[in-house]
């Protein structure tokens, strides 16, 4: 039997019991590989992170699991891990190695306390979503105000832009039909730099996600490409209110429609629990 320590963080919030929950196993070297998915299922959170020594130029390496599958990249696990490890390691920038590549996270402090983190995400490819009609039907909406496109950042995210925040709040999607589409369905509304979003990912074992960092960067790209914001504008994203986990994310896409130079996603996190798992 082994005993493995973990930390629980609420991510993309500065208040406990809100935001997106995350479990971080801070030293996973002795955890059997064939137990990782079962542990993530046991934790029953959107994602669980397992931390390993670096294999390259980063400070640590991670593996990320939802309750049903492993992801090469996800946003709130990277930000939450940076908050968990950035304090003990006393780093201003922590570089976290993922299967999608190294992700640097710049940490801001007030005194000794980390209060904000900003990650530089990989730039995803995008394409039209071929099953647009099926998606709209599953969501119960007639149309999207912008082209329905899918962005692949490890998890795949498709975007449907609605006419008002009220329409987003009122959504009651067919989760079984969404499961068959095998994507994260992001429904958004807003204007200028203020946006509201809900993200449904039942295929990943997450019926609705409280805060989706891997979707925030592509959303900034999507809005800039289609003229809703300017490249370089930082957007503020509200998510999670409908499931009593209000969250706030910040995202920016720098460059142009022809060449995305950098994608940044930021937010806060709070550490709320520590524990030991015996297996």
Beta bridge partners of 49: 24, 64
Q: What is the pLDDT of residues 118-149, one digit of tens each?
A: 999 999 999 999 999 999 999 999 999 999 99
> Is the model's pLDDT at 237 over the cut of 80?
yes
Asked whether residue 248 carries a pLDDT value surpassing 70, the answer given is: yes
Residue 169 dihedral angles phi and psi, to the nearest 5°: -65, -30
d(CA 227, CA 123): 19
Q: Which CATH number is 126-257 given?
A: 3.10.310.10
Regarding the domain with residue range 3-121+267-278, which homologous superfamily does it belong to in the CATH classification?
Answer: Diaminopimelate Epimerase; Chain A, domain 1 (3.10.310.10)
Domain with CATH 3.10.310.10 in the chain: 3-121+267-278, 126-257
Give the N- to C-terminal CA distance of the chain in Å, as an integer: 5
| Rounded (10°) angle between helices 213-225 and 75-89 | 120
Angle at 238 between CA 42 and CA 149, to 5 degrees: 85
pLDDT at 1 > cutoff 80: no
**Which residues, at least 6 apart from 99, have a Cβ–Cβ distance to it below 8 Å?**
63, 72, 73, 154
Average pLDDT of the residues in 24-42: 97
Q: pLDDT value at position 204? A: 87
Q: Tell me the pLDDT band of 198, cut-offs 50, 70 and 90.
A: very high
- pTM value? 0.95
The residues carrying an active-site annotation are 47
């Amino acid at each position: 039997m082994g005993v493995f320590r973990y930390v629980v963080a609420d991510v993309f919030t500065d208040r406990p019991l809100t935001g997106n929950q995350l479990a971080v196993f801070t030293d996973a070297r002795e955890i059997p590989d064939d137990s990782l998915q079962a542990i993530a299922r046991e934790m029953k959170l959107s994602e669980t992170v397992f931390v390993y020594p670096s294999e390259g130029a980063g400070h640590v390496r991670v593996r990320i699991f939802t309750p049903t599958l492993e992801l090469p990249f996800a946003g709130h696990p990277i930000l939450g891990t940076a908050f968990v490890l950035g304090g003990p390691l006393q780093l201003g920038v922590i570089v976290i190695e993922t299967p999608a590549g190294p992700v640097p996270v710049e940490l801001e402090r007030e005194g000794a306390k980390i209060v904000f983190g900003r990650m530089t995400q990989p730039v995803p490819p995008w394409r039209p979503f071929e099953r647009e009609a099926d998606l709209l039907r599953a969501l119960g909406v007639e149309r999207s105000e912008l082209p329905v496109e899918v962005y692949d950042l490890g998890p795949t995210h498709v975007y449907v832009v609605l006419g008002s925040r009220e329409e987003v709040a009122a959504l009651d999607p067919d989760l079984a039909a969404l499961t068959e589409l095998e994507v994260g369905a992001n429904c958004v509304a807003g204007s200028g730099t203020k946006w509201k979003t809900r993200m449904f990912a039942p295929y990943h074992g997450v019926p609705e996600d409280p805060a989706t960092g891997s979707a925030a960067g592509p959303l900034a790209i999507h809005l800039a490409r289609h003229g809703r914001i300017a490249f370089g504008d930082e957007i503020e994203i509200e998510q999670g209110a409908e499931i009593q986990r209000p969250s706030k994310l910040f995202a920016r896409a720098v460059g142009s429609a022809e060449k995305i130079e950098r994608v940044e996603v930021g937010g806060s996190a709070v550490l709320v629990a520590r524990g030991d798992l015996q297996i």
